Structure 1
Protein backbone atom coordinates (compact mmCIF):
# COMPACT_ATOMS: atom_id res chain seq x y z
CA UNK A 1 0.00 0.00 0.00
CA UNK A 2 2.73 2.47 0.95
CA UNK A 3 5.65 1.67 -1.34
CA UNK A 4 3.98 2.98 -4.53
CA UNK A 5 3.55 6.29 -2.66
CA UNK A 6 7.30 6.59 -2.14
CA UNK A 7 7.48 5.24 1.42
CA UNK A 8 10.37 3.00 2.45
CA UNK A 9 8.82 0.03 4.28
CA UNK A 10 10.49 -2.80 6.17
CA UNK A 11 8.48 -5.76 7.50
CA UNK A 12 9.97 -7.20 10.71
CA UNK A 13 8.51 -10.29 12.35
CA UNK A 14 8.03 -9.90 16.11
CA UNK A 15 9.00 -13.52 16.82
CA UNK A 16 11.57 -14.52 14.19
CA UNK A 17 13.34 -11.22 13.48
CA UNK A 18 14.84 -8.53 15.72
CA UNK A 19 12.11 -5.90 16.22
CA UNK A 20 14.46 -3.72 18.25
CA UNK A 21 17.26 -3.23 15.72
CA UNK A 22 14.86 -3.46 12.73
CA UNK A 23 17.76 -4.96 10.80
CA UNK A 24 19.41 -1.55 10.75
CA UNK A 25 16.39 0.11 9.11
CA UNK A 26 16.11 3.79 10.10
CA UNK A 27 12.37 4.18 10.68
CA UNK A 28 10.43 7.38 11.36
CA UNK A 29 7.32 5.39 12.33
CA UNK A 30 7.26 1.95 13.95
CA UNK A 31 3.93 0.14 13.71
CA UNK A 32 3.70 -2.63 16.32
CA UNK A 33 1.06 -5.24 15.52
CA UNK A 34 1.25 -7.96 18.20
CA UNK A 35 -1.07 -10.63 19.51
CA UNK A 36 -3.62 -10.08 22.24
CA UNK A 37 -2.51 -8.31 25.45
CA UNK A 38 -3.68 -11.31 27.47
CA UNK A 39 -1.01 -13.52 25.89
CA UNK A 40 1.97 -14.29 28.18
CA UNK A 41 4.54 -12.89 25.74
CA UNK A 42 2.80 -9.52 25.43
CA UNK A 43 5.00 -7.93 28.10
CA UNK A 44 7.79 -7.89 25.51
CA UNK A 45 5.61 -5.62 23.36
CA UNK A 46 5.45 -2.96 26.08
CA UNK A 47 9.24 -2.81 26.35
CA UNK A 48 9.49 -2.75 22.54
CA UNK A 49 7.28 0.34 22.40
CA UNK A 50 9.42 1.96 25.11
CA UNK A 51 12.58 1.11 23.19
CA UNK A 52 11.55 2.84 19.97
CA UNK A 53 9.86 5.78 21.67
CA UNK A 54 13.07 6.45 23.64
CA UNK A 55 14.92 6.57 20.32
CA UNK A 56 12.63 9.42 19.30
CA UNK A 57 10.52 7.45 16.83
CA UNK A 58 6.77 7.71 16.39
CA UNK A 59 5.28 4.41 17.55
CA UNK A 60 1.82 3.17 16.59
CA UNK A 61 0.71 0.13 18.62
CA UNK A 62 -2.30 -2.15 18.31
CA UNK A 63 -3.66 -3.05 21.77
CA UNK A 64 -6.54 -5.17 20.37
CA UNK A 65 -9.51 -2.96 21.17
CA UNK A 66 -12.30 -5.56 21.35
CA UNK A 67 -15.33 -3.74 22.74
CA UNK A 68 -14.96 -5.00 26.30
CA UNK A 69 -14.98 -2.52 29.19
CA UNK A 70 -12.00 -4.25 30.81
CA UNK A 71 -9.90 -3.91 27.65
CA UNK A 72 -10.84 -0.24 27.28
CA UNK A 73 -9.77 0.39 30.87
CA UNK A 74 -6.44 -1.37 30.27
CA UNK A 75 -5.87 0.64 27.09
CA UNK A 76 -6.61 3.92 28.85
CA UNK A 77 -4.19 3.09 31.67
CA UNK A 78 -1.37 1.98 29.36
CA UNK A 79 -1.75 4.86 26.90
CA UNK A 80 -1.78 7.34 29.80
CA UNK A 81 1.56 5.91 30.98
CA UNK A 82 3.11 6.30 27.54
CA UNK A 83 1.69 9.79 27.07
CA UNK A 84 3.25 10.89 30.37
CA UNK A 85 6.61 9.47 29.29
CA UNK A 86 6.75 10.31 25.59
CA UNK A 87 4.08 12.90 24.85
CA UNK A 88 2.47 12.25 21.47
CA UNK A 89 5.14 9.86 20.20
CA UNK A 90 3.04 6.75 21.01
CA UNK A 91 -0.31 6.37 19.29
CA UNK A 92 -3.09 3.81 19.69
CA UNK A 93 -3.73 1.96 16.44
CA UNK A 94 -7.42 1.29 15.79
CA UNK A 95 -9.34 0.55 12.59
CA UNK A 96 -12.52 2.63 12.86
CA UNK A 97 -13.10 6.37 13.12
CA UNK A 98 -16.11 5.80 15.42
CA UNK A 99 -13.74 4.69 18.17
CA UNK A 100 -12.84 8.32 18.85
CA UNK A 101 -16.43 8.96 19.99
CA UNK A 102 -16.39 6.22 22.65
CA UNK A 103 -16.84 7.90 26.07
CA UNK A 104 -14.81 5.14 27.73
CA UNK A 105 -11.79 6.14 25.64
CA UNK A 106 -12.25 9.89 26.07
CA UNK A 107 -9.22 10.26 28.42
CA UNK A 108 -6.87 9.04 25.68
CA UNK A 109 -8.80 10.17 22.58
CA UNK A 110 -5.88 12.37 21.50
CA UNK A 111 -3.70 9.25 21.10
CA UNK A 112 -6.08 7.38 18.77
CA UNK A 113 -5.03 6.86 15.14
CA UNK A 114 -7.49 5.01 12.87
CA UNK A 115 -5.69 3.03 10.16
CA UNK A 116 -7.54 1.28 7.30
CA UNK A 117 -7.70 -2.47 7.74
CA UNK A 118 -6.05 -4.24 4.81
CA UNK A 119 -8.90 -5.99 3.00
CA UNK A 120 -8.44 -8.31 0.03
CA UNK A 121 -11.27 -10.04 -1.80
CA UNK A 122 -11.62 -12.97 -4.18
CA UNK A 123 -13.47 -12.52 -7.44
CA UNK A 124 -16.75 -14.45 -7.46
CA UNK A 125 -19.67 -14.80 -9.86
CA UNK A 126 -22.52 -12.32 -9.36
CA UNK A 127 -25.54 -14.35 -8.26
CA UNK A 128 -29.15 -13.29 -8.08
CA UNK A 129 -31.54 -13.62 -5.14
CA UNK A 130 -33.04 -16.79 -6.63
CA UNK A 131 -29.60 -18.38 -7.12
CA UNK A 132 -28.75 -18.10 -3.42
CA UNK A 133 -30.03 -19.92 -0.35
CA UNK A 134 -29.24 -20.40 3.30
CA UNK A 135 -28.08 -18.22 6.19
CA UNK A 136 -24.37 -18.29 7.02
CA UNK A 137 -23.54 -17.72 10.71
CA UNK A 138 -19.77 -17.49 10.48
CA UNK A 139 -17.16 -19.54 12.32
CA UNK A 140 -18.25 -22.50 14.43
CA UNK A 141 -15.45 -21.99 16.96
CA UNK A 142 -16.56 -18.42 17.67
CA UNK A 143 -20.21 -19.46 17.96
CA UNK A 144 -19.18 -21.92 20.67
CA UNK A 145 -17.54 -19.12 22.68
CA UNK A 146 -20.32 -16.96 24.07
CA UNK A 147 -17.84 -14.50 25.56
CA UNK A 148 -17.42 -13.21 21.99
CA UNK A 149 -21.11 -12.95 21.12
CA UNK A 150 -23.65 -10.15 21.38
CA UNK A 151 -26.43 -12.56 22.45
CA UNK A 152 -26.65 -16.20 23.57
CA UNK A 153 -26.15 -18.31 20.47
CA UNK A 154 -29.12 -20.59 21.21
CA UNK A 155 -31.48 -17.61 21.44
CA UNK A 156 -30.22 -16.12 18.19
CA UNK A 157 -30.46 -19.40 16.29
CA UNK A 158 -33.96 -20.06 17.64
CA UNK A 159 -35.03 -16.56 16.58
CA UNK A 160 -33.77 -17.24 13.06
CA UNK A 161 -35.52 -20.61 12.90
CA UNK A 162 -38.77 -19.01 13.99
CA UNK A 163 -38.46 -16.05 11.62
CA UNK A 164 -37.17 -17.94 8.57
CA UNK A 165 -38.23 -21.60 9.03
CA UNK A 166 -37.42 -22.54 5.44
CA UNK A 167 -33.82 -21.25 5.58
CA UNK A 168 -30.86 -23.61 5.82
CA UNK A 169 -28.63 -22.42 8.70
CA UNK A 170 -24.94 -23.29 8.57
CA UNK A 171 -21.48 -22.28 9.82
CA UNK A 172 -17.90 -23.22 8.95
CA UNK A 173 -15.28 -24.70 11.27
CA UNK A 174 -12.40 -22.34 10.55
CA UNK A 175 -11.04 -22.55 14.11
CA UNK A 176 -11.39 -25.41 16.57
CA UNK A 177 -13.43 -24.42 19.61
CA UNK A 178 -12.16 -24.98 23.13
CA UNK A 179 -15.43 -26.77 23.84
CA UNK A 180 -17.68 -28.10 21.10
CA UNK A 181 -21.41 -27.48 21.25
CA UNK A 182 -24.38 -28.87 19.36
CA UNK A 183 -25.86 -25.72 17.84
CA UNK A 184 -28.57 -27.49 15.88
CA UNK A 185 -27.24 -26.20 12.54
CA UNK A 186 -24.96 -27.66 9.87
CA UNK A 187 -21.23 -27.32 10.53
CA UNK A 188 -19.15 -27.40 7.36
CA UNK A 189 -15.46 -28.37 7.55
CA UNK A 190 -12.73 -25.85 6.73
CA UNK A 191 -13.43 -24.93 3.13
CA UNK A 192 -9.94 -24.06 1.81
CA UNK A 193 -10.24 -23.46 -1.98
CA UNK A 194 -14.04 -23.79 -1.86
CA UNK A 195 -14.39 -20.93 0.61
CA UNK A 196 -15.51 -18.17 -1.73
CA UNK A 197 -17.66 -20.36 -3.96
CA UNK A 198 -19.64 -21.82 -1.06
CA UNK A 199 -20.12 -18.60 0.91
CA UNK A 200 -21.03 -16.54 -2.15
CA UNK A 201 -24.08 -18.77 -2.62
CA UNK A 202 -25.50 -17.73 0.77
CA UNK A 203 -28.56 -15.51 0.69
CA UNK A 204 -27.75 -13.90 4.04
CA UNK A 205 -25.03 -13.73 6.68
CA UNK A 206 -25.70 -13.22 10.37
CA UNK A 207 -22.60 -12.32 12.37
CA UNK A 208 -23.15 -12.65 16.13
CA UNK A 209 -19.60 -11.72 17.16
CA UNK A 210 -19.35 -8.44 19.04
CA UNK A 211 -16.29 -8.62 21.30
CA UNK A 212 -13.47 -8.90 18.78
CA UNK A 213 -10.98 -6.47 17.30
CA UNK A 214 -12.07 -6.83 13.68
CA UNK A 215 -14.33 -9.27 11.84
CA UNK A 216 -12.89 -10.01 8.41
CA UNK A 217 -15.30 -12.71 7.18
CA UNK A 218 -18.41 -10.47 7.12
CA UNK A 219 -16.45 -7.96 5.04
CA UNK A 220 -15.44 -10.70 2.59
CA UNK A 221 -19.00 -11.99 2.38
CA UNK A 222 -20.45 -8.50 1.88
CA UNK A 223 -18.04 -8.05 -1.04
CA UNK A 224 -19.68 -11.16 -2.58
CA UNK A 225 -23.07 -9.45 -2.49
CA UNK A 226 -24.34 -11.29 0.59
CA UNK A 227 -26.30 -8.98 2.94
CA UNK A 228 -24.78 -8.91 6.43
CA UNK A 229 -26.60 -8.52 9.77
CA UNK A 230 -24.32 -7.75 12.72
CA UNK A 231 -24.26 -6.22 16.23
CA UNK A 232 -22.71 -2.83 16.86
CA UNK A 233 -18.91 -2.92 16.36
CA UNK A 234 -17.45 0.59 16.24
CA UNK A 235 -13.91 -0.61 15.48
CA UNK A 236 -15.08 -2.92 12.72
CA UNK A 237 -18.32 -3.60 10.85
CA UNK A 238 -20.35 -0.59 12.01
CA UNK A 239 -17.71 1.82 10.74
CA UNK A 240 -16.72 -0.11 7.63
CA UNK A 241 -20.02 -1.36 6.22
CA UNK A 242 -22.27 1.39 7.61
CA UNK A 243 -25.50 1.53 5.59
CA UNK A 244 -24.19 -1.26 3.39
CA UNK A 245 -25.21 -3.71 6.13
CA UNK A 246 -27.83 -3.91 8.90
CA UNK A 247 -26.76 -3.20 12.48
CA UNK A 248 -28.83 -5.33 14.86
CA UNK A 249 -29.85 -4.16 18.34
CA UNK A 250 -31.55 -7.28 19.78
CA UNK A 251 -32.53 -10.86 19.06
CA UNK A 252 -36.06 -9.70 18.18
CA UNK A 253 -34.63 -7.15 15.75
CA UNK A 254 -32.50 -9.91 14.24
CA UNK A 255 -35.54 -12.06 13.50
CA UNK A 256 -37.50 -9.24 11.88
CA UNK A 257 -34.67 -8.14 9.60
CA UNK A 258 -33.68 -11.69 8.66
CA UNK A 259 -37.27 -12.48 7.66
CA UNK A 260 -37.58 -9.37 5.50
CA UNK A 261 -34.24 -9.86 3.75
CA UNK A 262 -34.58 -13.59 3.21
CA UNK A 263 -38.09 -13.45 1.76
CA UNK A 264 -38.20 -10.22 -0.25
CA UNK A 265 -35.92 -9.98 -3.32
CA UNK A 266 -36.38 -6.20 -3.56
CA UNK A 267 -35.26 -5.60 0.04
CA UNK A 268 -32.50 -8.15 -0.41
CA UNK A 269 -31.14 -6.53 -3.57
CA UNK A 270 -30.83 -3.12 -1.92
CA UNK A 271 -28.61 -4.36 0.90
CA UNK A 272 -26.78 -6.83 -1.34
CA UNK A 273 -25.71 -4.19 -3.83
CA UNK A 274 -24.91 -1.43 -1.33
CA UNK A 275 -22.89 -3.85 0.82
CA UNK A 276 -20.96 -5.12 -2.19
CA UNK A 277 -20.08 -1.63 -3.36
CA UNK A 278 -19.07 -0.44 0.12
CA UNK A 279 -16.91 -3.50 0.85
CA UNK A 280 -15.24 -3.46 -2.58
CA UNK A 281 -14.56 0.25 -2.22
CA UNK A 282 -12.59 -0.47 0.98
CA UNK A 283 -10.23 -2.99 -0.65
CA UNK A 284 -6.59 -2.38 0.22
CA UNK A 285 -5.67 -1.00 -3.19
CA UNK A 286 -8.27 1.74 -2.77
CA UNK A 287 -7.17 2.59 0.76
CA UNK A 288 -3.46 3.21 0.12
CA UNK A 289 -3.83 6.99 -0.04
CA UNK A 290 -5.95 7.00 3.13
CA UNK A 291 -3.28 4.95 4.92
CA UNK A 292 -0.55 7.30 3.71
CA UNK A 293 -2.34 10.47 4.78
CA UNK A 294 -3.17 9.18 8.25
CA UNK A 295 0.39 8.05 8.89
CA UNK A 296 1.67 11.37 7.54
CA UNK A 297 -0.54 13.24 9.98
CA UNK A 298 0.47 10.98 12.89
CA UNK A 299 4.17 11.48 12.11
CA UNK A 300 3.75 15.26 12.02
CA UNK A 301 1.89 15.28 15.34
CA UNK A 302 4.15 12.76 17.07
CA UNK A 303 7.50 14.23 16.08
CA UNK A 304 6.71 17.93 16.25
Structure 2
Protein backbone atom coordinates (compact mmCIF):
# COMPACT_ATOMS: atom_id res chain seq x y z
CA UNK A 1 0.00 0.00 0.00
CA UNK A 2 1.31 3.43 -0.89
CA UNK A 3 1.61 5.79 2.01
CA UNK A 4 0.08 9.25 2.03
CA UNK A 5 3.22 10.95 0.79
CA UNK A 6 3.51 8.63 -2.21
CA UNK A 7 -0.16 9.06 -3.07
CA UNK A 8 0.15 12.82 -2.89
CA UNK A 9 3.27 12.81 -5.06
CA UNK A 10 1.64 10.76 -7.81
CA UNK A 11 -1.35 13.10 -7.79
CA UNK A 12 0.90 16.16 -8.12
CA UNK A 13 2.94 14.60 -10.91
CA UNK A 14 -0.26 14.28 -12.97
CA UNK A 15 -1.24 17.90 -12.28
CA UNK A 16 2.26 19.06 -13.19
CA UNK A 17 2.13 17.18 -16.48
CA UNK A 18 -1.09 18.95 -17.45
CA UNK A 19 0.42 22.34 -16.56
CA UNK A 20 3.60 21.57 -18.52
CA UNK A 21 1.64 20.55 -21.60
CA UNK A 22 -0.49 23.70 -21.57
CA UNK A 23 2.56 25.88 -20.91
CA UNK A 24 4.43 24.19 -23.74
CA UNK A 25 1.62 24.79 -26.24
CA UNK A 26 0.60 28.21 -24.91
CA UNK A 27 4.18 29.43 -24.55
CA UNK A 28 4.99 28.69 -28.19
CA UNK A 29 1.74 30.23 -29.46
CA UNK A 30 2.08 33.43 -27.40
CA UNK A 31 5.76 33.66 -28.30
CA UNK A 32 4.84 33.83 -31.99
CA UNK A 33 2.10 36.40 -31.31
CA UNK A 34 4.32 38.62 -29.18
CA UNK A 35 7.24 38.41 -31.63
CA UNK A 36 4.77 39.72 -34.23
CA UNK A 37 3.66 42.51 -31.85
CA UNK A 38 7.25 43.50 -31.20
CA UNK A 39 7.31 42.44 -27.54
CA UNK A 40 10.69 40.77 -27.94
CA UNK A 41 11.60 40.25 -24.28
CA UNK A 42 8.25 38.71 -23.37
CA UNK A 43 8.21 36.56 -26.52
CA UNK A 44 11.71 35.25 -25.75
CA UNK A 45 10.72 34.34 -22.19
CA UNK A 46 7.57 32.58 -23.42
CA UNK A 47 9.58 30.65 -25.99
CA UNK A 48 12.04 29.58 -23.29
CA UNK A 49 9.19 28.43 -21.07
CA UNK A 50 7.69 26.44 -23.93
CA UNK A 51 11.00 24.66 -24.51
CA UNK A 52 11.60 24.20 -20.77
CA UNK A 53 8.13 22.64 -20.43
CA UNK A 54 8.96 20.22 -23.23
CA UNK A 55 12.17 19.27 -21.39
CA UNK A 56 10.34 18.65 -18.11
CA UNK A 57 7.24 16.95 -19.51
CA UNK A 58 8.68 13.41 -19.44
CA UNK A 59 11.33 13.95 -16.77
CA UNK A 60 8.77 15.00 -14.16
CA UNK A 61 7.33 11.45 -14.03
CA UNK A 62 10.64 9.92 -12.94
CA UNK A 63 12.55 12.55 -11.00
CA UNK A 64 13.17 12.01 -7.29
CA UNK A 65 13.43 15.78 -6.82
CA UNK A 66 9.88 16.57 -7.85
CA UNK A 67 9.25 19.40 -5.40
CA UNK A 68 12.49 21.13 -6.39
CA UNK A 69 11.49 21.09 -10.06
CA UNK A 70 8.07 22.44 -9.13
CA UNK A 71 9.67 25.45 -7.42
CA UNK A 72 12.16 25.96 -10.28
CA UNK A 73 9.30 26.00 -12.76
CA UNK A 74 6.50 27.79 -10.90
CA UNK A 75 8.21 30.83 -9.43
CA UNK A 76 9.70 32.02 -12.75
CA UNK A 77 6.32 31.26 -14.36
CA UNK A 78 4.46 33.44 -11.85
CA UNK A 79 7.06 36.20 -12.18
CA UNK A 80 6.59 36.06 -15.96
CA UNK A 81 2.83 36.48 -15.55
CA UNK A 82 3.36 39.61 -13.47
CA UNK A 83 6.05 40.92 -15.86
CA UNK A 84 3.79 40.34 -18.88
CA UNK A 85 1.22 42.68 -17.35
CA UNK A 86 3.88 45.29 -16.45
CA UNK A 87 5.47 45.85 -19.87
CA UNK A 88 4.06 48.54 -22.22
CA UNK A 89 1.43 47.51 -24.78
CA UNK A 90 0.41 44.49 -22.70
CA UNK A 91 -3.26 43.56 -22.44
CA UNK A 92 -5.37 43.95 -19.33
CA UNK A 93 -6.68 40.42 -19.97
CA UNK A 94 -3.34 39.04 -18.73
CA UNK A 95 -4.65 39.54 -15.19
CA UNK A 96 -6.86 36.49 -15.80
CA UNK A 97 -3.69 34.39 -15.62
CA UNK A 98 -2.81 35.94 -12.27
CA UNK A 99 -6.06 34.52 -10.88
CA UNK A 100 -4.95 30.99 -11.83
CA UNK A 101 -1.99 31.23 -9.43
CA UNK A 102 -3.90 30.06 -6.31
CA UNK A 103 -5.21 26.94 -8.06
CA UNK A 104 -1.79 26.04 -9.48
CA UNK A 105 0.00 26.78 -6.19
CA UNK A 106 -2.34 24.75 -3.99
CA UNK A 107 -2.47 21.77 -6.35
CA UNK A 108 1.30 21.54 -6.72
CA UNK A 109 2.65 22.87 -3.43
CA UNK A 110 0.00 22.02 -0.86
CA UNK A 111 -1.86 24.25 1.57
CA UNK A 112 0.94 26.05 3.40
CA UNK A 113 3.30 26.82 0.55
CA UNK A 114 0.37 27.23 -1.82
CA UNK A 115 -1.22 29.88 0.40
CA UNK A 116 2.02 31.86 0.79
CA UNK A 117 2.82 31.75 -2.94
CA UNK A 118 -0.76 32.70 -3.84
CA UNK A 119 -0.86 35.61 -1.44
CA UNK A 120 2.51 37.01 -2.54
CA UNK A 121 1.93 36.83 -6.30
CA UNK A 122 -1.70 37.96 -6.10
CA UNK A 123 -0.55 41.07 -4.23
CA UNK A 124 2.23 41.63 -6.79
CA UNK A 125 -0.20 41.15 -9.68
CA UNK A 126 -2.81 43.47 -8.16
CA UNK A 127 -0.16 46.13 -7.53
CA UNK A 128 1.08 45.98 -11.14
CA UNK A 129 -2.49 46.03 -12.42
CA UNK A 130 -3.24 49.24 -10.55
CA UNK A 131 0.03 50.77 -11.73
CA UNK A 132 -0.57 49.93 -15.39
CA UNK A 133 -4.30 50.20 -15.83
CA UNK A 134 -5.45 52.76 -13.26
CA UNK A 135 -8.02 55.12 -14.75
CA UNK A 136 -8.92 58.68 -13.91
CA UNK A 137 -12.43 57.72 -12.89
CA UNK A 138 -12.35 57.12 -9.11
CA UNK A 139 -15.56 55.08 -9.06
CA UNK A 140 -14.21 52.78 -11.78
CA UNK A 141 -10.93 52.38 -9.88
CA UNK A 142 -12.79 51.44 -6.69
CA UNK A 143 -14.93 48.94 -8.59
CA UNK A 144 -11.83 47.42 -10.23
CA UNK A 145 -10.06 47.14 -6.87
CA UNK A 146 -13.05 45.47 -5.23
CA UNK A 147 -13.40 43.05 -8.14
CA UNK A 148 -9.72 42.12 -7.83
CA UNK A 149 -9.91 41.69 -4.05
CA UNK A 150 -13.06 39.59 -4.06
CA UNK A 151 -12.08 37.44 -7.03
CA UNK A 152 -8.62 36.81 -5.55
CA UNK A 153 -10.09 35.94 -2.15
CA UNK A 154 -12.59 33.62 -3.83
CA UNK A 155 -9.91 31.78 -5.80
CA UNK A 156 -7.64 31.38 -2.76
CA UNK A 157 -10.56 30.26 -0.56
CA UNK A 158 -11.85 27.72 -3.08
CA UNK A 159 -8.36 26.34 -3.65
CA UNK A 160 -7.76 26.13 0.11
CA UNK A 161 -11.06 24.35 0.83
CA UNK A 162 -10.54 21.95 -2.07
CA UNK A 163 -7.00 21.02 -0.99
CA UNK A 164 -8.03 20.65 2.66
CA UNK A 165 -10.88 18.28 1.78
CA UNK A 166 -8.73 16.37 -0.72
CA UNK A 167 -6.10 15.75 1.97
CA UNK A 168 -8.75 14.60 4.47
CA UNK A 169 -10.38 12.29 1.94
CA UNK A 170 -7.01 10.83 0.97
CA UNK A 171 -6.12 10.20 4.60
CA UNK A 172 -9.51 8.58 5.15
CA UNK A 173 -9.11 6.30 2.12
CA UNK A 174 -5.63 5.29 3.22
CA UNK A 175 -6.92 4.60 6.72
CA UNK A 176 -9.72 2.42 5.35
CA UNK A 177 -7.29 0.59 3.07
CA UNK A 178 -5.17 -0.31 6.12
CA UNK A 179 -8.08 -1.32 8.39
CA UNK A 180 -9.61 -4.73 9.00
CA UNK A 181 -13.36 -4.43 8.43
CA UNK A 182 -14.42 -6.86 11.14
CA UNK A 183 -12.33 -5.69 14.09
CA UNK A 184 -11.34 -2.15 13.14
CA UNK A 185 -7.67 -3.04 13.74
CA UNK A 186 -4.85 -2.57 11.29
CA UNK A 187 -4.77 -5.19 8.55
CA UNK A 188 -1.82 -7.09 7.09
CA UNK A 189 -0.90 -4.30 4.66
CA UNK A 190 -0.77 -1.78 7.50
CA UNK A 191 1.30 -4.24 9.54
CA UNK A 192 3.87 -4.53 6.74
CA UNK A 193 4.07 -0.77 6.30
CA UNK A 194 4.40 -0.06 10.03
CA UNK A 195 6.99 -2.81 10.58
CA UNK A 196 9.17 -1.22 7.90
CA UNK A 197 9.18 2.06 9.83
CA UNK A 198 9.71 0.39 13.22
CA UNK A 199 12.54 -1.78 11.88
CA UNK A 200 14.35 1.25 10.49
CA UNK A 201 14.04 2.96 13.86
CA UNK A 202 15.17 -0.16 15.74
CA UNK A 203 18.20 -0.58 13.51
CA UNK A 204 19.21 3.07 13.67
CA UNK A 205 18.77 3.49 17.42
CA UNK A 206 19.52 -0.13 18.45
CA UNK A 207 16.08 -0.26 20.03
CA UNK A 208 14.25 -3.52 20.87
CA UNK A 209 11.44 -4.65 18.60
CA UNK A 210 9.29 -7.75 18.98
CA UNK A 211 6.69 -9.45 16.79
CA UNK A 212 3.96 -11.40 18.60
CA UNK A 213 1.38 -13.74 17.11
CA UNK A 214 -1.78 -14.47 19.10
CA UNK A 215 -4.13 -17.29 18.20
CA UNK A 216 -7.49 -18.04 19.81
CA UNK A 217 -7.66 -21.45 21.39
CA UNK A 218 -10.47 -23.69 20.12
CA UNK A 219 -12.00 -20.92 18.02
CA UNK A 220 -13.66 -23.50 15.76
CA UNK A 221 -15.62 -24.76 18.76
CA UNK A 222 -17.06 -21.28 19.32
CA UNK A 223 -18.24 -21.09 15.71
CA UNK A 224 -19.66 -24.62 15.79
CA UNK A 225 -21.42 -24.23 19.16
CA UNK A 226 -22.69 -20.66 19.00
CA UNK A 227 -22.58 -19.72 15.33
CA UNK A 228 -20.28 -17.62 13.17
CA UNK A 229 -21.88 -14.35 14.26
CA UNK A 230 -20.78 -15.10 17.83
CA UNK A 231 -17.36 -16.07 16.55
CA UNK A 232 -17.09 -12.69 14.82
CA UNK A 233 -18.24 -10.94 17.98
CA UNK A 234 -15.61 -12.80 20.00
CA UNK A 235 -12.91 -11.64 17.57
CA UNK A 236 -14.05 -8.06 18.04
CA UNK A 237 -14.03 -8.56 21.81
CA UNK A 238 -10.46 -9.89 21.85
CA UNK A 239 -9.27 -7.16 19.50
CA UNK A 240 -10.72 -4.52 21.82
CA UNK A 241 -9.40 -6.29 24.92
CA UNK A 242 -5.80 -6.52 23.70
CA UNK A 243 -5.91 -2.99 22.29
CA UNK A 244 -6.64 -1.59 25.75
CA UNK A 245 -3.65 -3.42 27.27
CA UNK A 246 -0.93 -2.11 24.94
CA UNK A 247 0.70 1.25 24.43
CA UNK A 248 -0.26 3.68 21.67
CA UNK A 249 3.18 3.21 20.13
CA UNK A 250 2.58 -0.54 19.68
CA UNK A 251 0.56 -1.83 16.75
CA UNK A 252 -2.08 -4.56 16.94
CA UNK A 253 -3.24 -6.00 13.63
CA UNK A 254 -5.56 -8.77 12.58
CA UNK A 255 -3.25 -11.16 10.77
CA UNK A 256 -5.96 -13.44 9.42
CA UNK A 257 -8.73 -15.70 10.69
CA UNK A 258 -8.39 -15.87 14.46
CA UNK A 259 -4.76 -14.73 14.50
CA UNK A 260 -3.55 -11.31 15.64
CA UNK A 261 -0.10 -9.79 15.23
CA UNK A 262 1.39 -7.31 17.66
CA UNK A 263 4.44 -5.08 17.18
CA UNK A 264 6.05 -4.05 20.47
CA UNK A 265 8.69 -1.33 20.29
CA UNK A 266 11.21 -0.25 22.89
CA UNK A 267 10.67 -3.14 25.34
CA UNK A 268 13.29 -5.72 26.31
CA UNK A 269 12.59 -9.44 25.83
CA UNK A 270 11.59 -10.09 29.45
CA UNK A 271 9.26 -7.08 29.45
CA UNK A 272 7.63 -8.23 26.21
CA UNK A 273 7.06 -11.66 27.69
CA UNK A 274 5.56 -10.15 30.85
CA UNK A 275 3.21 -7.97 28.82
CA UNK A 276 2.01 -10.76 26.52
CA UNK A 277 1.64 -13.23 29.39
CA UNK A 278 -0.25 -10.65 31.41
CA UNK A 279 -2.66 -10.14 28.51
CA UNK A 280 -3.11 -13.92 28.30
CA UNK A 281 -3.87 -14.23 32.01
CA UNK A 282 -6.24 -11.25 32.10
CA UNK A 283 -8.13 -12.53 29.07
CA UNK A 284 -8.55 -15.93 30.72
CA UNK A 285 -10.11 -14.20 33.71
CA UNK A 286 -12.39 -12.01 31.56
CA UNK A 287 -14.89 -14.31 29.79
CA UNK A 288 -16.78 -13.01 26.77
CA UNK A 289 -20.49 -12.51 27.44
CA UNK A 290 -22.81 -12.51 24.43
CA UNK A 291 -26.61 -12.79 24.56
CA UNK A 292 -26.38 -13.92 28.20
CA UNK A 293 -23.94 -16.65 27.20
CA UNK A 294 -20.60 -16.72 29.04
CA UNK A 295 -17.81 -17.91 26.76
CA UNK A 296 -14.37 -18.54 28.17
CA UNK A 297 -11.66 -17.48 25.74
CA UNK A 298 -7.93 -18.16 25.96
CA UNK A 299 -5.07 -17.44 23.59
CA UNK A 300 -1.70 -18.93 22.76
CA UNK A 301 1.15 -16.67 21.69
CA UNK A 302 4.61 -16.82 20.16
CA UNK A 303 7.17 -14.01 20.38
CA UNK A 304 10.06 -13.29 17.99
CA UNK A 305 12.76 -10.69 18.58
CA UNK A 306 14.17 -8.37 15.92
CA UNK A 307 17.84 -9.06 15.34
CA UNK A 308 18.06 -12.40 17.15
CA UNK A 309 15.31 -14.13 15.18
CA UNK A 310 15.65 -12.19 11.94
CA UNK A 311 15.42 -8.72 10.49
CA UNK A 312 12.54 -9.02 8.05
CA UNK A 313 8.87 -9.28 8.91
CA UNK A 314 8.68 -12.61 7.09
CA UNK A 315 11.49 -14.09 9.19
CA UNK A 316 10.03 -12.84 12.45
CA UNK A 317 6.49 -13.99 11.62
CA UNK A 318 7.82 -17.43 10.70
CA UNK A 319 9.69 -17.67 14.02
CA UNK A 320 6.78 -16.39 16.11
CA UNK A 321 4.44 -18.76 14.26
CA UNK A 322 6.65 -21.74 15.17
CA UNK A 323 6.64 -20.63 18.80
CA UNK A 324 2.89 -20.14 18.67
CA UNK A 325 2.45 -23.77 17.64
CA UNK A 326 4.94 -24.78 20.32
CA UNK A 327 2.61 -23.05 22.81
CA UNK A 328 -0.32 -25.05 21.45
CA UNK A 329 1.69 -28.26 21.75
CA UNK A 330 2.26 -27.41 25.41
CA UNK A 331 -1.46 -27.47 26.01
CA UNK A 332 -2.52 -23.99 24.76
CA UNK A 333 -3.17 -20.89 26.88
CA UNK A 334 0.53 -20.11 27.21
CA UNK A 335 3.27 -17.91 25.71
CA UNK A 336 6.53 -19.08 24.14
CA UNK A 337 9.50 -16.81 23.38
CA UNK A 338 13.21 -17.29 22.68
CA UNK A 339 13.90 -18.17 26.33
CA UNK A 340 11.29 -20.88 26.92
CA UNK A 341 10.78 -22.61 23.58
TM-score by length of 1: 0.23
Higher relative contact order (CA 8 A, sep 6+): 1
Greater share of helix? 2
